[in-house]
Amino acid sequence: MSLRVYRFLQALILLALVVFIGFKLISGTLSLYINMQYMPLTVFGIALLVIMMLVILPRPGPKLEEGQDHDAGHGHDISPAALVILIVPLLVGVLIPVHPLDATAAATRGMNVSAPLVGTSQTREFQSAADTRNILDWIVIFNSSADLSPYVGQSARVTGFVYHDPRLPADQFIVSRFVITCCTADASAIGMIVDWNQSADLKESSWVEVKGPVQASKLGGQPIPLIEASYVQATAQPDQPYLYP
Amino acid sequence: MDIIPSMEFPTRRSGLSRSLIWIILFGAITVILYASLPASVWPRLGQRLSVFATVFLGIFIEALPFLLMGTLSSGLVEVFLSDEWLARSAPRRALPAALAGASLGLIFPICECGTVPLARRLFRKGLPLPAGIAFLLAAPVLNPIVILSTATAFGWGRMLLWRLGLSLLMAISVGLAFSIERDSANILRVPIFKVGPGVVHTHSANETFMQKIRQALLISADEFFEMGRYLVFGASLAAILQAFISQTSLLTVGSGPILSVLVMLALAVLLSICSTVDAFIALGFLGTFSFGSVLSFLIFGPMVDIKSILMFLQVFRRKTVFYLVLLPLLMSLLAGLAFNYFSA
């Protein structure tokens, strides 16, 4: 394979990566993969890819090109095998349907109802109105507060996906969210146990809004929040399915 | 980089057909599995594939900008840095030389794929042995890009501090250990002085600034594709572990104080992930593997892995390579075990 073809293939793959990630960025599906706090890094990465692509794209004037380029490509393994591996992410992204992490992932990775695995050194606003707190807020409150009495009995309103833990009785389920610090590699599922007599009717992984007073329950000596649901309603998957610590 | 001999033309050809077969096979299997999903043979396979894709792309997308930054700075160093100046201004005495060598990466951010070729050029220009060895081992971690990516993954906390501190300590002690040997010919391979055709980049002075920039970008593009492979492999493995293997069974391995460190050290070598992005792979293991084992992965991987061993062999004598692998291995093992046994 001539160096020109090799460079052209390289540029093509870089372009494909730009289109692929750019599309995820514009369509908003990027938030299914990374903490959106790091979105600027991705934009920066796309910019670097574009610059690299434009520079390596072979130009007309073959003689000059080969001459200028001869000491960059040499010595590197210029076999196409090295190039096609970079197509794998595109194949994975195109062929496998896009889904945020759900109950399947939670079943493999474990569900946490008492303590967030993530370091939550920052103080959370516990004075916030009870119905604006998300699942992570409630878990942190129950994990870190010495006195739970101000919180017990408050009415919670949280959104999450349904997770049926085999250890729970039939009239309970877990309303859960994934917490992402950096990207999906560090995702950990957290959840609150919900008392709801029609639990069994809820479809696994479906998104629900749960409302009801919060009670203090115990799991292995550790206080955990439990919602005595007054209603559980199906809801749309939020734009940002994950919570960020 | 430039010391990996380029493949013969026929091999290249078979490389193409072989990799095409793999890609087609991969695609076909994916499509078939996807199409045969509702057959409920494996009811959760489809969902698990989705989990795999989400985790894999999460790692890949998050790591990509860092890999690009690393290869870009490597290209710029290669084109713009004067080796003569660097070799001349290095301290001669062992300890200062090792210190200076270890902190060189802070100024020239390159990952392990760039350190070996650079170290080789510097040795040839008379860089003291302790400085070169310390540079080789420390630069892949002690540089701004890796510090940033580690902090992105783990936060500005103890993982970052221990990674930096221990890498520095290990690099300096190995550098000092080699300072006992006065005659560098016992350490370095002789052929290092033999210059093959096209091995040394001679950049004529009349190259314009823009031409140099272009040259740097071409080099970084090659390196991006070379290193991107390891990222794809590493991210796949991490994602497979997370999507298909239940955490509880992994925990048995990952929480064993000795076994977990050994497994992570082996992974560090086998995966050969570029140090600019290995933090994101390591992050995926932190939930199940002990802190000490993940830390040992993060300090050992940048120093020794398959591709760096291959590159070491081009520069050093076999005996030297043996010690270059053994000393960091023992120290990483010790560090990992110490954390697992003495730290909560």
* Per-residue pLDDT tens digits for B131-170: 989 999 999 999 899 999 999 888 899 999 999 999 999 9
* Per-residue pLDDT tens digits for B253-288: 788 889 999 999 998 888 778 788 889 888 878 877
Helix-, strand-, coil-residue percentages of chain B, each rounded to 5: 75, 0, 25
pTM of the predicted model as reported, rounded to 2 decimal places? 0.81
Residue A133 region by backbone torsions, left for phi larger than 0, else alpha for psi between -120 and 50, else beta: beta
Give A178→chain B minimum CA distance, Å: 12
Q: Measured between CB atoms, does A56 come within 8 Å of chain B?
A: yes
What's the rounded Cα separation, in Å, for the pair B281 and B261? 16
* Per-residue pLDDT tens digits for B300-310: 999 998 778 87
* Per-residue pLDDT tens digits for A42-90: 999 999 999 999 998 877 655 444 444 444 444 445 567 778 889 999 9
Radius of gyration from C-alpha coordinates of chain A: 25
Give the pLDDT band of residue A24 (cuts 50, 70, 90).
very high
- Is the model more confident about B13 or about B32? B32
Residues contacting residue A35 through CB under 8 Å, at least 6 positions apart: A180, A181, A182, A183, A242, A244
- CB–CB of A146/A173 below 8 Å? no
> Counting Cβ atoms within 10 Å, is residue B212 exposed (0-12), middle (13-18) or buried (19+)?
middle
| pLDDT of B204 | 52
- CB–CB of B260/B293 below 8 Å? yes
| pLDDT of B18 | 66
Q: Could you say which of B27, B54, B286 has the minimum Cβ distance to residue A101?
A: B54
Instruction: Summarize the confidence of residues B106-134 as an average pLDDT.
Output: 79
* Per-residue pLDDT tens digits for A176-204: 999 888 888 888 889 999 999 999 999 99
Which A positions 195-214 lie with beta carbon below 8 A of chain B? none
* Per-residue pLDDT tens digits for B87-111: 778 788 889 999 998 988 888 777 7
Position A218 pLDDT exceeds 70? yes
Interchain CB distance below 8 Å, B16 and A72: no
Give A151→chain B minimum CA distance, Å: 29
Give the pLDDT band of residue A116 (cuts 50, 70, 90).
low
Task: List the single residue in A with minimal CA-CA distance to B27.
Answer: A91
Q: Which helix (H) or strand (E) holds B209?
A: helix B209-244
